[in-house]
Amino acid sequence: MKREKSRKYRLLQALRILSQWFFFGLFLYLFTRTRFTGSDVIGPVERFFHFDPLLAIVATAAGRAFFAAFVWAGATVLLTLVLGRVVCGWVCPLGSLHQFFSFLFKKAKLHRPKAASAGPLKWKYVILIFILTGSLLGLNLAGWLDPLSFLYRSFATAVFPALGHATKGFLSLLYALGLSGPAGTVGQRFESLTVNPVYLQGFFLGLLFLAAILLNLVRERFWCRVLCPAGALLGLLSVGNVFKLKIDRNKCIDCGLCNLQCQTQASPFPDEEWKRAECVYCFTCAAVCPTAAIGFPSRDVARREKRVSLDRRKILWTPIAALAALPFFRIAPSGRRAAASLIRPPGARPEPEFLSTCVKCGECMKVCPTGGLQPVLTAAGPEGLWTPRLVPRIGYCEYYCSLCSQVCPTGAIKELSVEEKLTVKIGTAWVDKNRCLPYALGEPCIVCEEHCPTSPKAIRLVEHSALLPDGTVSAQMAPVVDVSACIGCGICENKCPVVDRPAIYVTSVGEHRSETNRLLLDI
Amino acid sequence: MKRRDFMRDLALGGLALSAARPAAFSLPAADAPPDLAWIEGESPAALTRAAVDALGGMRSFVGRGDVVCVKPNIGWDRTPEMAACTNPEVVRALVEMSFEAGAKTVIVTDHSTNQASRTFLRSGIQAAAKQAGAKVLLPSSFRMKKMSLKGEWFKEWEVFLDVHEADKIINVPIAKHHSLTRVTLGMKNWMGGIGGARNQLHQRIHEAVIDLARFFNPPLTVLDAWRVLVRNGPQGGRASDTELRKTVVAGRDWLAVDAAGATFFGLKPAELPFLALAAERKLGRLDWEKLRIEKRKV
C-alpha cells in the first residue's frame, strides 16, 4: 500500500497552529494593553474571560446575579454543542502554550509519548463537579484552575515582572557598554509599558506556572487532559460533534501512531473507542497517520458514544465530598470581622459578593498603574486566596484612575467612571504619632499632606510641640487626618519617608462598600 | 592630571562661573537688557515670548547646536486648569524659541511625583512639547546618578542626568502654594531634577533647595504665573484653588525671580527662609524691586 500522509489534514493542522498563535497573540496583545495608555477609559481588554463558560456559570451561580458581558460565553457553548471542544484545540491560549511546550519537549527528546492510563482523565470532571457544587453554595472556586485566570494571573504577577527585571538587567548592560543611545530608546519604551516589578507571592505563583508547564514532560497537554475544569465543562457540552472521527479500515495499518500522538488522549484508534468529549480537534492524528486513513466526516457515523468512564456511583460521591469540604473554606476570621489590611480596589462589591464573583484573574493587578493591587494570601480567608488588595507601601491608588474597575471581567469590582471613583472611600489613613517625624522627633515633614490628592486635603497640618530627649521643645507642623475627607488611597503611606514601617498608614475601616466596617456613626 | 592643567582648568572654570551669571552682580551698561522681565497679557505663549525677548532674546541664552533642557514642573496628575504643573503653552513657546535660536535638541522632562506617564499626559506638556519638536523623556532610574552637589549642606545625591547633562538649562516653574516652604517657585522646582529618597529632604528643605538651585544654576528662569495655585498646594485639585494672574516673570538671576514670585502670594521675600538664606550667601538678589525691570503688558 502506498504510504502518504493526508494533505488536507496537514493543512488543517497548520491552520489550527496558525489559529493558536493568533489567539495567543491576541491574548498577549490585550494583556500588554491592560495598562494606562493615555486614556481614562480602557475598552474591553478583558474580553477573553467573557467567552469562558466556566467563569460565566460559576460567577453567576455563586454571585446569584448575571453579569451581562457573560452573554459572550453563549458563543463558546453553542460552538461546543455543535462542533465539540474546538475552543480547547484552536483558541485557548493556555492550551496553546501547553501544546507548544509539549512540542518543544518532544523535539528536545525530553518527552517521548507512550501509552498512558485513561484513569487520570476523569480528575478534571471531578474538579469541575467540585467547583460547580461550590458555586451553588455561593463559593467561587473557579479562578484557581480556570485556564484563563491561571494564565493571566501567572503572567501578571510572575512572568511579566520577571521579564521587567530581565529588561532592566539588559538596560544596565547596555549602559555599562557605553551604548547610552540605544539604552535610552529601549529605556523610554520600557518606562511607557509600566511593568510592575513587585508582586507579593510572585515567586510562588511563578513556580506554580513553571510546574504547570513542566507537567507537559509527564504527558502532553497534561493540564488539558487531567486538570482543566473549563475543558471538562466543554467536554460535557460536546454532544453534537458534527465532525466525527472515522478510520478507513482499508487503509489503516494498525500502527497506533494516532493513539500515541493524540494530544488529549481521545483514543482515535480504534474509532469506536474515540472519546469525542476529549477530542480538541487538533487533527494531529489525521495529520500524522502514515496512510491518511483518519478523517473527520460530517455525515453521521453510527456508533456507541464513548466517554471517559465516570462511574455513576463513584461520581456521585464527588458532590457529597464537595459538600463536606466546602464549609472548611469558611473557617476564617475574615467573615466575621473585616481585616485591617484588606483594602479592596475602589468599586469592589461588599466582601461576601466580592468573594463570590472574583475569579482571581489578576486583571486589576495588571492594570493598576502603581502596582499597588496585590494578590491576597490569607487576609480574606481560604476562598479569598489571590483576590486583590491594595498594599499602599508598594503602590497607592492613583486619584484619577478607575482602570481596575473597568477591566474586572466579572463585575466583582463595579465599573466606575473617574468622577464616580473620586468619591469612593476604600479605607482610612492613620498617623502613627510614635514614628511621625514632627510628632516624635520634632523634625519638619509634610510629605503626606503634600501628596494628599483631595481638595480640600484630608491631611491637614496643626502645630505640635515635641519634647526632645534633651528636654527642649521643638514646635513643628504635624499631620492630622480628616477621616471624612480621606478616601484611603494610600499615597500618604506610600510616600512617607519613614522607610520601614510608615508613620502614616491606611486600614480598611470606613470603606464605603461595607456596612459593618464602619468608622463614624453616620446612619 | 598635571598640575599646570589643573591650574588652567581651575582658572577656566572660575571664568566660566563668573561669566554664567553676570546680571545680578556686575553693573550693567546702559543699553544692556533688563535684569527681570515682568510681562502681563492675554496669552501664555505671547507672554513667554515677550519675557524672553525683553531679556535680550533666546539667542543670548541658547547657542547654535546646543542641547537644551527645558525643565517645567510636571509633578502632578492634574490638568492645566488646576495649576499644579507648568502651563503647557509656556513650555511650548520656550521649546520653539530654543529651536529658533539654533538648539540642536530640546529635552523636556521632570522627575515627577505622580507617575510620569500620567502627569506628562494630563498636564498637556507632553503633547505641547512634542508638537514643538522637543524630546519628552520619561524619568528612568538608569538616568539618576549619584554625584557631588558641592553644596553648603547638600553634599551628594542622585542627579537626573537628562537635566544635568544638557548644555543649557531653562527652568520653567509654576508659582504655587506649598505648606512647608509656603510657596514653590523656581528653586524648589529642582526637586524634579534629582532622584533618590526625595521625601526625606523635607527635613532640611531650605538648605536643600538652595544647594540644588546653585548646583543646576540655570542661566534663564521663566516663572509661569498665568494661573497661580493659591491654596491646597502643591497640587490643588479644584479650579477654585487657583487664581488667574496672567503673568510671566523671567530673569537670569533665579533668586530674584523667586523673590518677585513671592509677591503673588502677598509675601515679602525675606519672610521665606530659603530666599533669605540664599541672599545671605550672596547667590542672587532678594531686593528684586531695585533691579532694572521691564514691566509691560502685551
Cβ within 8 Å, pair A455-B236: yes
| Closest chain A C-alpha to B102 CA, distance in angstroms | 22
Query: B137 — contact with chain A (CB < 8 Å)?
Result: yes
Q: What's the confidence (pLDDT) of residue B10?
A: 52
Q: Which of B224, B247, B249 is nearest to B174 (CA)?
A: B224
| Closest chain B C-alpha to A455 CA, distance in angstroms | 5
Mean pLDDT, rounded, for A349-366:
96
| Closest chain B C-alpha to A127 CA, distance in angstroms | 43
**What is the rounded CA–CA span in Å between residue A380 and residue A335?**
8
Q: By 3-state DSSP, what share of chain B in percent is helix, strand and coil, each rounded to 5?
A: 40, 25, 35
Q: Which chain A residues are Cβ-neighbours of B235 within 8 angstroms?
A: 450-451, 453
Which residue does chain A place closest to B123, by CA atoms? A38
**What is the rounded CA–CA span in Å between residue A385 and residue B180?**
43
Q: Is residue B26 part of a domain?
A: no
Read off the C-alpha cell for A207.
513556580
Q: Which chain B residues are Cβ-neighbours of A175 within 8 angstroms?
A: 142
Q: In the 8-state DSSP scheme, what is residue B59?
A: G
| Closest chain A C-alpha to B121 CA, distance in angstroms | 7
Q: Which chain B residues are Cβ-neighbours of A497 within 8 angstroms?
A: 197, 199-200, 202-203
Cβ within 8 Å, pair A453-B115: no
Strand locations in A182-330 (E): 246-247, 294-295
Cell 504527558, residue?
Answer: A219
| pLDDT of A203 higher than 80 | yes
B157 bridge partner residues: B147
Q: What's the confidence (pLDDT) of residue A523?
A: 62
Beta-strand pair B220-229/B174-178? parallel
| pLDDT of A313 higher than 90 | no
Q: Which ipTM did the prediction report?
A: 0.86
Mean pLDDT, rounded, for A266-283:
91
- Spatial neighbors of A196 by CB under 8 A, at least 6 apart, are A161, A164, A365, A366, A368, A370, A371, A395
Kindly report, residue by residue over A442-476, the tens digit of the pLDDT: 999 999 999 999 999 999 999 999 999 999 999 99
Domain A333-422 has CATH 3.30.70: yes
| pLDDT of A302 higher than 70 | no
Sort A352 into a burial class: Cβ within 10 Å, 0-12 / 13-18 / 19+. Answer: exposed
Mutate to test the interface with B, among A168, A179, A393, A457 (most CBs of B within 10 A): A457
Residue B146 CA: distances (Å) to CA of A187, B66, B142, B197:
19, 25, 11, 12
At A104 the three-state DSSP class reads: helix
Q: Which chain B residues are Cβ-neighbours of A187 within 8 angstroms?
A: 140, 142-143
**What is the rounded CA–CA span in Å between residue B230 and residue A210?**
55
Q: In the 8-state DSSP scheme, what is residue A272?
A: G
Read off the C-alpha cell for A330.
469558611
> Who among A183, A369, A449 is closest to B179 (CB)?
A449
Q: Is residue B1 part of a domain?
A: no
Which residue does chain B place closest to A496, by CA atoms? B199
Q: Which residues of A touch B (CB under 8 A)?
A: 36, 38, 171-172, 175, 183-184, 187-188, 190-192, 194, 369-370, 398-401, 437, 443-447, 449-451, 453-457, 461, 477, 495-497, 499
Cβ within 8 Å, pair A187-B140: yes
Q: In the 8-state DSSP scheme, what is residue A85?
A: S
- Spatial neighbors of A372 by CB under 8 A, at least 6 apart, are A390, A391, A392, A394, A395, A396, A397, A490, A494
pLDDT-based confidence at B5, cuts 50/70/90? low
Over chain A, what is the mean pLDDT?
93
Q: Which chain B residues are Cβ-neighbours of A499 within 8 angstroms?
A: 197
> Who among A36, A175, A398 is closest to B142 (CB)?
A175
pLDDT-based confidence at B11, cuts 50/70/90? low
CATH number of the domain that B65 lies in? 3.40.50.11440
Mutate to test the interface with B, among A455, A462, A492 (most CBs of B within 10 A): A455
At A494 the three-state DSSP class reads: helix
Distance between first and last Cα of chain A? 86
Kindly report, residue by residue over A126-170, the tens digit of the pLDDT: 999 999 999 999 999 999 999 999 999 999 999 999 999 999 999
- Residue A251, CB-side half-sphere exposure with 13 Å CA sphere: 17
Read off the C-alpha cell for B145.
546618578
> Who among B121, B140, B232 is closest to A191 (CB)?
B140
**What is the rounded CA–CA span in Å between residue B89 and residue A279?**
63
Strand locations in chain B (E): 36-40, 67-72, 105-109, 135-137, 144-148, 156-160, 168-172, 174-178, 182-184, 220-229, 242-251, 293-297
Q: Could you tell me what percent of chain A has a pLDDT over 70?
A: 98
- Spatial neighbors of A164 by CB under 8 A, at least 6 apart, are A190, A195, A196, A197
**What is the rounded CA–CA span in Å between residue A229 and residue A379?**
26
- Spatial neighbors of B162 by CB under 8 A, at least 6 apart, are B69, B107, B109, B137, B139, B143
Beta-strand pair A473-481/A504-507? unpaired
Which residue does chain B place closest to A479, by CA atoms? B179
Which residue does chain A place closest to B234, by CA atoms? A450
Kind plus residue range of the DSSP H or E element containing A462 = strand A459-467
Domain that holds residue B226: 33-297
Q: What's the confidence (pLDDT) of residue A321?
A: 87
Higher pLDDT, B1 or A286: A286
Over chain B, what is the mean pLDDT?
91
Query: B110 — contact with chain A (CB < 8 Å)?
Result: no
Q: Which chain B residues are Cβ-neighbours of A192 within 8 angstroms?
A: 117, 138
Which residue does chain A place closest to B79, by CA atoms? A400
Query: B18 — contact with chain A (CB < 8 Å)?
Result: no
> Who among B138, B200, B238 is closest to A188 (CB)?
B138
Q: Which of A375, A367, A358 is nearest to A201 (CA)?
A: A375
Helices (H) and strands (E) in chain B, counts: 9, 12
**Phi then psi dihedrals of residue A117, to 5 deg:** -65, 145
- Spatial neighbors of A168 by CB under 8 A, at least 6 apart, are A190, A197
Q: Is residue B94 part of a domain?
A: yes
> Who among B117, B137, B234 is closest to A36 (CB)?
B117
Query: B195 — contact with chain A (CB < 8 Å)?
Result: no
Q: What's the confidence (pLDDT) of residue B9?
A: 55
> Who among B77, B138, B179 is closest to A192 (CB)?
B138
Of A314-318, A511-515, B122-126, the poorest mean pLDDT is in: A314-318
Kindly report, residue by residue over A6-18, the tens digit of the pLDDT: 899 999 999 999 9
pLDDT-based confidence at A102, cuts 50/70/90? very high
Q: Which of A413, A423, A317, A440 is nearest to A359 (CA)?
A: A413
At A368 the three-state DSSP class reads: coil
Kindly report, residue by residue over B207-222, the tens digit of the pLDDT: 999 999 999 999 999 9
Query: B116 — contact with chain A (CB < 8 Å)?
Result: yes
Which residue does chain A place closest to B127, by CA atoms? A38
Q: Which chain B residues are Cβ-neighbours of A194 within 8 angstroms?
A: 115, 117
Which residue does chain B place closest to A444, by CA atoms? B203
Which residue does chain B place closest to A194, by CA atoms? B117
DSSP A289-315: -TT--EE--SS------------HHHH
At A154 the three-state DSSP class reads: helix
- Residue B256, CB-side half-sphere exposure with 13 Å CA sphere: 25
Kind plus residue range of the DSSP H or E element containing A464 = strand A459-467
DSSP B200-237: GGGGGHHHHHHHHHHHH--SEEEEEEEEEE-SSTTT--
Cis before B44? omega within 30: no
| pLDDT of B12 higher than 60 | no
Q: What's the confidence (pLDDT) of residue B23?
A: 45
Which residue does chain B place closest to A183, by CA atoms? B142
Cell 528662569, residue?
Answer: B221
Sort B231 into a burial class: Cβ within 10 Å, 0-12 / 13-18 / 19+. Answer: middle
| Helix orientation angle between A123-136 and A229-237, rounded to the nearest 10 degrees | 90
**What is the rounded CA–CA span in Å between residue B40 and residue B225?**
9
Cell 525530553, residue?
Answer: A110
Kindly report, residue by residue over A369-422, the tens digit of the pLDDT: 999 999 999 999 999 999 999 999 999 999 999 999 999 999 999 999 999 999
Cβ within 8 Å, pair A188-B114: no
Cell 487626618, residue?
Answer: A481
Q: What's the confidence (pLDDT) of residue A140?
A: 95
**Phi then psi dihedrals of residue A17, to 5 deg:** -65, -40
Q: How many residues does the structure list for chain B?
A: 298
Q: How many CB pairs under 8 A join A and B?
A: 85
Which residue does chain B place closest to A400, by CA atoms? B77
Q: Which chain A residues are Cβ-neighbours of B113 within 8 angstroms?
A: 451
- Residue A431, CB-side half-sphere exposure with 13 Å CA sphere: 23
Domain boundaries, chain A: 1-34+45-330, 333-422, 428-507
> Who among B122, B137, B180 is closest to A444 (CB)?
B180
At A375 the three-state DSSP class reads: strand
| Closest chain B C-alpha to A193 CA, distance in angstroms | 9
Q: Which chain A residues are Cβ-neighbours of B142 within 8 angstroms?
A: 171-172, 175, 183, 187
CB B50 within 8 A of CB B39: yes
Kind plus residue range of the DSSP H or E element containing B279 = helix B273-280
Q: Is residue B11 part of a domain?
A: no
- Residue A328, CB-side half-sphere exposure with 13 Å CA sphere: 6
**What is the rounded CA–CA span in Å between residue B108 and residue B97?**
14
- Tell me the one-letter amino acid at A407: V
Q: Is residue B23 part of a domain?
A: no
